[in-house]
Structure 1
Amino acid sequence: MEERYRRNIEAISEEENAALFEKKVCIIGCGGLGGYIIEILARIGVGSLIVVDGDVFEESNLNRQLYSKMELLGKSKAESAYERILEINPEIKVKYIYDFFDESNYAKIINNSDVVVDALDNIKTKKFLQKVCEELDIPLVHGAIGGWYGQVATVLPGDKTLDIIYKGKEDKGVEKILGNLPFTASCTASYQSSEVIKLLIKRGDLLRKKILFIDMLNNESEIINL
């Protein structure tokens, strides 16, 4: 076992750690949630990462997006994530896609992934991502934040969890109304990353057909069965 992974053990076994290196995870969105998720998965040793985002860094991202900094304003979020991954763990395979995820490119982006992660910021694209993950038979880990609040769910093909969560909702979420705080993003992203690892090692209690609500203002969390 490489020294870089030594502290993963005993939380996960050496066999599980080795299995992670054979897995591929696609993260859609490299901003507030996505940056922290990418960082965690690269450090723990997921062997292949695809990072997708068609946006560039703006000054308003600096309060919470892990990879944003002054000298990167105007630069691709996906490319910056790619460069960061190579700095953290050059042994893993990484591909970046500087494009927005949509009907024209979804199959070539997420096909053959073991897990896809929703780090998007709009409901319409989240629901489309759920639809195509079901079509391609790939598990999806959903996350969303707004202000002091976050939510996480794991969606297996056929569950249609986001149809329940966002039933009757408009396309835009509440993040632009409530704002986005850095600790909400990092906390929610950590829960999402945990769900990804549990899916990959096939161990632990998943947030399947459930949603975890996180209230950091009042130090409360709740799991609701859907």
Structure 2
Amino acid sequence: MATGLITAIVAEVHEIRGPNGSGCRVLSIDAVQRIAAQTGKPLREVEIGALQHGITPVRYLRNQVSIGILDQIRLLEAKVAVIGQGGLGGFVAEILARAGVGRLVLIDGDRFEDHNLNRQLFCTADTIGQYKAERAATHVGRVNAAVLVEAKVAFLTPSNADQLIAGCDVVVDCLDNIVSRFDLESAAKRAGIPMASAAVAGYTGQVSTVFSEDTGIALIYGAREDLQDSEGIETVLGCPPQTVALVAAVQSSEVIKVLSGKTDRLLRNKLWVADLSDNTFEVFSLV
């Protein structure tokens, strides 16, 4: 790390009482911005540099006990593609940005419509008609300006999937049809990267994580060639907002565990299923 950046960081450090009661060296958001302006470094690099010297940007202070400094660095260095910026994807983008995932690619070719208002985080009366990916990117930039966010206004297809997720460490399946899920899984397997997959229907939701060597979502939906209908049951049961928010939180947690190397705790070859109608939560083995 450049000496000038270290010097600038150290000059801005102050100590506070941390979440666990011990002393903690921190940088305020204003300090991070001043250092970036002074050194010409991106905000993300300033935050990584601080963490590498045991100094916590205050925005991540409440992550520290659960995530830890080394894992926070891993998150900031990571690149994640979130495919679909509707119900699940909007909440996932928000959570990952607040957690400190340093690079996000937000992908969706659709625009907001009135019927999205009940569950899609970035859909408001003022954003009807706007591209979902672009609106999500704007919001993420306001939440965490250190995140390098790229909006891709495109629907995922077999011909563009590889390009859309190129260079990513994890992909997040927030799609609304099963055929596209298979297309994304195939691209993720070719790239050798994990995929966190989720779906919502009514009061029920499910999450599973797939690695490139796994059988994958065929264990949930059956073989792709045997599909009778590409649309999920959510077209019949709908998507209440509370189910969407819950499932997106679990899906985001899977992404964070992958990026921080906690692979022994994943929903790999498993299916987490929630039913909010009777408050049941179960994990099923798929193999």
What code does the residue aligned with 1:207 have?
Answer: L
Partner of 2:231: 172
TM-score, normalized by length of structure 1? Answer: 0.98
Greater RCO structure (CA 8 Å; 6+ sep): 1
Partner of 1:8: 63
What code does the residue aligned with 1:131 have?
Answer: S
Ranges of 4+ aligned residues in structure 1 off by more than 2 Å: none
Q: Is the 8 A contact 1:130 1:160 kept in 2?
A: no
Partner of 2:7: none
Which one of 95, 101, 105 corresponds to residue 150 of structure 2? 95
- SS of 1:9's equivalent in the other structure is helix
- SS of 2:217's equivalent in the other structure is helix
- SS of 2:112's equivalent in the other structure is coil
Unaligned segments of structure 2, at least 5 residues? 1-55
Q: Is the 8 A contact 1:119 1:143 kept in 2?
A: yes
Size of the alignment, in residue pairs?
A: 226
Root-mean-square deviation (Å): 0.9
Report matched runs for 1:178-197 at 5 Å.
Answer: 178-197=237-256
Mapped partners of 1:202, 1:93: distance in 2: 22
Mapped partners of 1:112, 1:160: distance in 2: 23
Partner of 2:260: 201
Q: Is the 8 A contact 2:161 2:183 kept in 1?
A: no
1:213 maps onto 2:213 in alignment:
no
Partner of 2:128: 73
Partner of 1:122: 177
TM-score, normalized by length of structure 2? Answer: 0.77
Partner of 2:46: none
Q: Deviations over 1:40-79 (max 9, x none)?
A: 0000100000000000000000000000001111100000
Partner of 1:54: 109
Q: Is the 8 A contact 2:182 2:217 kept in 1?
A: yes
Which structure shows the bigger proportion of residues in helix conformation?
2
Query: Max radius of gyration: which structure?
Result: 2
Q: Is the 8 A contact 2:104 2:150 kept in 1?
A: yes
- SS of 1:6's equivalent in the other structure is helix
Which one of 64, 67, 73 corresponds to residue 18 of structure 1? 73
Q: Is the 8 A contact 1:116 1:138 kept in 2?
A: yes
